[in-house]
C-alpha cells in the first residue's frame, strides 16, 4: 500500500508513568495516513496505553500526542468528541453488551452520536455486518456467539461510523489459530478496501505477517526497532519470539 508521507498521528517525546512504574519513556512515533502499523512488545510494556493516548482516553505526563493536527492535550472537549467520531476501536474481548442483540450492539455508536433514523441505522448496521461476514445475525445475542464471531461483531461496531482510523487491541486474543488467521485477513482486507489507517497492538508474529505495512517493537517505554514485517521474520524470528515471551517487571 502506498501510504505517502502524510502523518495522521504523531507522538512527540511522550512520557507516562503510573506511580513508580514508567510505562512510556520519551516515546516518538509517527503513523502515516492509510498505513497499517503494528505495535509489538512483551506483555505489560504499554502497547495498549500507547493507543489509548491517541484516542484521548489518557493524557501524557509530558510530551504531546497530535492526531490529524489536533494536540490532544489542548483540544477543546467538543472537538475531541468530533475527532473520536472519526475513530473506531476494537477491544480485546469485543466488549459486547450481553443484553443487546448483535444488531443493537453494532448500532450503539450511531444511536449515541448521530441523528440517523432507525431505518438508516439498520441499513448501515446490515452493511457493516456484511463486511465482516456476519449477514443475518442481527437478532442473535452475544452469549450465542463464538469467540471469533464476537470479535467480528466488535469490528463491525468499530466500523459502523465509517472511521478514518481504527485501533485494534490484541485482535487475536482467545482465538484458535484458524479463526485468528481469518481475523488477520479480515483486518488486511478492510484496510485495503476502506483505505483506513490502522494501528494493531499484537504479540503474534502470524498477525503482523498478514496485517502490517510497518512494525515497531517497544520495550522500556521506547521504540528500539522498526521496519517492514519481513525484516523481523527473516533476521530475528527466534530472538523476536524470545523477546515477546519475556516477563516484564
Please report, for the domain that includes residue 219, its CATH number.
3.40.50.300
In this structure, what are the phi and psi dihedrals at residue 65, rounded to the nearest 5 degrees? -120, 125
Residue 48 inside a domain? The answer is yes
Residue 202 inside a domain? The answer is yes
Q: What is the pLDDT of residue 140?
A: 94
Q: Which domain holds residue 242?
A: 15-86+196-249
Residue 227 inside a domain? The answer is yes
Q: What residues are paired with 27 via a beta bridge?
A: 14
Q: What is the pLDDT of residue 104?
A: 94
What's the N-to-C CA distance of the chain in angstroms?
A: 37
Q: Report how many domains make up the chain.
A: 1
Note the pLDDT tens digit of each residue in 28-37.
999 999 999 9
Q: What is the pLDDT of residue 81?
A: 87
User: Per-residue pLDDT for the chain (249 aa), expressed as one digit of tens each?
Assistant: 444 459 999 999 999 998 888 889 999 999 999 999 999 877 777 888 999 999 988 999 999 999 999 999 999 988 988 898 899 888 766 678 899 999 999 999 898 878 889 999 999 999 999 988 889 999 999 999 988 888 889 889 988 988 999 999 888 877 788 888 888 888 898 888 888 999 999 888 888 889 999 999 888 888 888 888 887 766 555 556 665 666 554
Residue 211 inside a domain? The answer is yes
Q: Which of 225, 222, 248 has its CA nearest to residue 236?
A: 225
Note the pLDDT tens digit of each residue in 65-118.
999 999 999 999 889 888 988 998 887 666 788 999 999 999 998 988 788 899
Residue 74 inside a domain? The answer is yes
**CA atoms of 239 and 2, how far apart (whole Å):** 30
Residue 100 inside a domain? The answer is no
Question: Residue 117 corresponds to which cell in the numbers above?
Answer: 433514523
Q: What is the pLDDT of residue 249?
A: 45
- Cα R_g (the chain), whole angstroms: 18
The residue to which cell 488467521 is assigned: 181
Residue 80 inside a domain? The answer is yes
**Residues ≥6 apart with Cβ < 8 Å to 66:** 9, 10, 12, 72
Amino acid at each position: 500500500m502506498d501510504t505517502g508521507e502524510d502523518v495522521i498521528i504523531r507522538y512527540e517525546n511522550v512520557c507516562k508513568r503510573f506511580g513508580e512504574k514508567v510505562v512510556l519513556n520519551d516515546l516518538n512515533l509517527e503513523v502515516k495516513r492509510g498505513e497499517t502499523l503494528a505495535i509489538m512488545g512483551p506483555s505489560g510494556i504499554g502497547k495498549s496505553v500507547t493507543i489509548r493516548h491517541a484516542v484521548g482516553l489518557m493524557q501524557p505526563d509530558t510530551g504531546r500526542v497530535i492526531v490529524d493536527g489536533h494536540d490532544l492535550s489542548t483540544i477543546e472537549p467538543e472537538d475531541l468528541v468530533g475527532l473520536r467520531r472519526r475513530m473506531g476501536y476494537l477491544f480485546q474481548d469485543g466488549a459486547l453488551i450481553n443484553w443487546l442483540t448483535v444488531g443493537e450492539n453494532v448500532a450503539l455508536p450511531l444511536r449515541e452520536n448521530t441523528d440517523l433514523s432507525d431505518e438508516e441505522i439498520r441499513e448501515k448496521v446490515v452493511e457493516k455486518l456484511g463486511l465482516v461476514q456476519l449477514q443475518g445475525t442481527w437478532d442473535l445475542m452475544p452469549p450465542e456467539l463464538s469467540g471469533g464471531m464476537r470479535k467480528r461483531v466488535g469490528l463491525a461496531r468499530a466500523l459502523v461510523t465509517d472511521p478514518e482510523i481504527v485501533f485494534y487491541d490484541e485482535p487475536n486474543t482467545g482465538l484458535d489459530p484458524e479463526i485468528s488467521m481469518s481475523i488477520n485477513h479480515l483486518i488486511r482486507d478492510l484496510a485495503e478496501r476502506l483505505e483506513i489507517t490502522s494501528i494493531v497492538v499484537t504479540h503474534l508474529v502470524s498477525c503482523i505477517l498478514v496485517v502490517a505495512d510497518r512494525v515497531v517493537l517497544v520495550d522500556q517505554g521506547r521504540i528500539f526497532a522498526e521496519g517492514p514485517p519481513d525484516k523481523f521474520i527473516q533476521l530475528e524470528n527466534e530472538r523476536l519470539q524470545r523477546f515477546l515471551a519475556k516477563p516484564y517487571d
